Amino acid sequence: MIRTHAVSVGLLVTIASVCVADVELFTWEDGRFTILFADKPKVGQQVIKLPVGDVTMHIFTAELPKRTGEMLVSYTDYPEQTFADRKPDDMLDDSVTGTIKGMKATLVKSDPITQAGSPGRAFSWTATGPKGPLKGQGRIFLVGPRLYQIVIVGMEKSVQQVVYDEIFKSFEFKPAPAPAAGVTATTKPTAPSMKKQAQSAKSKTTTPVPAKGSARGKAAAKSQDRWITHTGVSYEGIWKIEMPIKPKHTTEPGLFGVEVRNVHSAKSGKLTYTLKIQVTPDSALEEGKESVLAAARDKLAEEVGGTVADVSDTQIAGYDGHAYRLDVAGPNPAIVLARAAIVGKRTVVLYVIGPRTDVEGPSAEKFLESFREDK
């Protein structure tokens, strides 16, 4: 029988009042999977003792936005003997049963699914938590000898189905590679290393080299073909934006006394592309949109040391806002093209900074136009 990680309710759910966090797309080459995670996940292992020998479960956990719940992803490679006289459907059903039993939960439903030709199960459950009723959803896939599990659970009153759906939709796996000559299919993989993955991703990232003269426009257009879609989740749902490379996610104190403002920034060539997003408190909203946007503009001018040169009306994701330019003096003069709007209850600021000839090109425009909600 395939065993599953016994996940307790106490491990998976911690409720606290914090500011909004974002999710990012993570890929583990050793695990051959990609999925959205809220912040950097914690990585662990658990040895499972089987009659045919020990196997290692690789475990990845992270909190959901605002700590409304937690998610867990795991994968385990099983030896061939495990599958003797066993049907994949029986193994998947046993895995669902083991997961539910481990959480002391009540199964609501379990349906057969497939992804990329591999069989799986989509299941949901309810449980009693220390803070109130819990609801959870999961996916299990059997890909060759490897079993993947994705489990998400949170307070019943805080469940955001759009967040759950986006996480499940983001999950992708690669087929098991064909074994090399003299190597059996049951060879155990090495444990995934976050540092190794970061170094691997860095080595594969190509920073476009600015072209000179008449070739600049063609080079800029070509570089846009390599852009990525960066995805985030807040308490209001999913947002997406186009970036030339994977941005770095940091936080800083927010406007209007908000504890955290999320910052996503990427430098490519001579340009730096930045998205800043935070919750807008009701007290600020009561002062009106113009007051909020003026505060965001003044803060950006202070941060870059620039002077506001032009302000006009624009939209971000269909919400009315401002577009403006900042002139930055000094030994390395630059300009900033920025846009800001209140999207739902979030104050969103987008800007690109760099030399005038580069900022006024198509790449900056593509970035500034790309922020959108995925409802």
| CA–CA gap between residue 347 and residue 289 (Å, rounded) | 10
Q: How far apart are CA 137 and CA 23, in angstroms?
A: 18
The domain spanning residue 55 has which CATH number?
Answer: 3.40.1000.10
Q: What is the DSSP letter of 81?
A: G
- Strand segments (E) across 170-247: 172-173, 228-234, 237-243
User: 172 and 228 in one domain?
Assistant: no
Length reported for the chain: 375
Same domain membership, residue 184 and residue 286: no
141, part of any domain: yes
- Segment 338-351 mean pLDDT: 96
Out of 149, 171, 196, a domain closes at 196
The pLDDT value recorded for residue 49 is: 87
Q: Are residues 190 and 256 in the same domain?
A: no
Please name every residue paired with 234 in a beta bridge, in sequence order, or none if there are none: 237
Mean pLDDT for the chain overall: 80
Is residue 3 included in any domain, yes or no?
A: no
Q: pLDDT digits over 277-330, tens only?
A: 998 999 999 999 999 999 999 999 999 999 999 999 999 999 999 999 999 998
Q: Specify the higher pLDDT residue, 33 or 25.
A: 33
**What CA–CA distance (Å, rounded) separates 323 from 17?**
33
**Residues 181 and 304 both lie in one domain:** no
**28 and 97 fall within a common domain:** yes
The answer, yes or no, to whether residue 200 has pLDDT greater than 70, is no
Residue 121 lies in a domain: yes
Indicate whether 203 belongs to any domain: no
Q: Among 32-36, 96-100, 133-137, 193-197, which is the least confidently predicted range?
A: 193-197
Average pLDDT (29-45) is: 81
Above pLDDT 90, what percent of the chain? 49
> Which of these three, 161, 196, 231, is where a domain ends?
196
Instruction: Give the count of alpha carbons within 13 A of 277, CB side only.
Output: 27
Question: What is the domain extent for residue 343?
Answer: 208-374
Residue bearing the bigger pLDDT, 91 or 296: 296
Count of structural domains within the chain: 2
Position 81 in a domain: yes
Q: Are residues 126 and 215 in the same domain?
A: no
What is the reported pLDDT for 174? 80
Low-confidence winner among 80-89, 157-166, 257-266 (lowest mean pLDDT)? 157-166
Question: In the structure, what pLDDT confidence band is assigned to residue 237 with cuts at 50, 70 and 90?
Answer: low
Q: Write the pLDDT tens digit of every residue in 55-66.
A: 999 999 988 866
Answer whether residue 13 shows pLDDT above 90: no
Q: Flag whether 4 is in a domain.
A: no
213 and 167 fall within a common domain: no
* Cα 231–chain centre separation: 6
Which class for 189: exposed (0-12), middle (13-18), buried (19 or more C-beta within 10 A)?
middle
DSSP code at position 44: E
The reply to whether 20 and 78 lie within a common domain is: yes
Residue 364 vs residue 15, higher pLDDT? 364
pLDDT score of 208 more than 60: no
Is 281 within the bounds of a domain?
yes
- Identify which of 142, 138, 100, 85 has the alpha carbon closest to the alpha carbon of residue 119: 142
Buried b (16+ CB within 10 A) or exposed e, 124-160: bbebebeeeebbbbbbbbbbebbbbbbbbbbbeebbb
Q: How far apart are CA 236 and CA 307, in angstroms?
A: 33
Residue 138 has pLDDT above 70, yes or no: yes
Q: Is the pLDDT assigned to residue 201 strictly greater than 50?
A: no
What is the spatial order of strands in the sheet that 346-354 belongs to?
248-252, 261-268, 271-279, 346-354, 334-343, 319-328, 306-316
Q: How confident is the model at residue 177 (pLDDT cuts 50, 70, 90)?
A: low
Q: Compute the C-alpha angle 154/166/101, nearest 5°.
A: 40
172 or 14: whose pLDDT is higher?
172
The enclosing H or E element of 224 equals: helix 216-224
SS3 308: strand
Percent of the chain with pLDDT over 70: 77
Res 346 pLDDT > 60: yes
| Same domain, yes or no: 65 and 149 | yes
pLDDT at 194: 34
Asked whether residue 187 falls in the same domain as residue 213, the answer is no
Average pLDDT over residues 357-367: 94
Instruction: State the DSSP code for 220.
Output: H
Does residue 148 share a domain with residue 29? Answer: yes
Asked, for residue 202, whether it belongs to a domain, the answer is: no
Q: What is the pLDDT of residue 93?
A: 95
Mean pLDDT (whole number) for 153-157: 81
* Domain identity same for 246 and 303: yes
Side-chain-side CA neighbours of 14 within 13 Å: the count stands at: 9
Q: Hey, what's the torsion of the CAs at 78, 79, 85, 91, to 10 degrees? A: 0
265 pairs with which residues across the strands?
248, 274
Check whether 157 has a pLDDT greater than 80: no
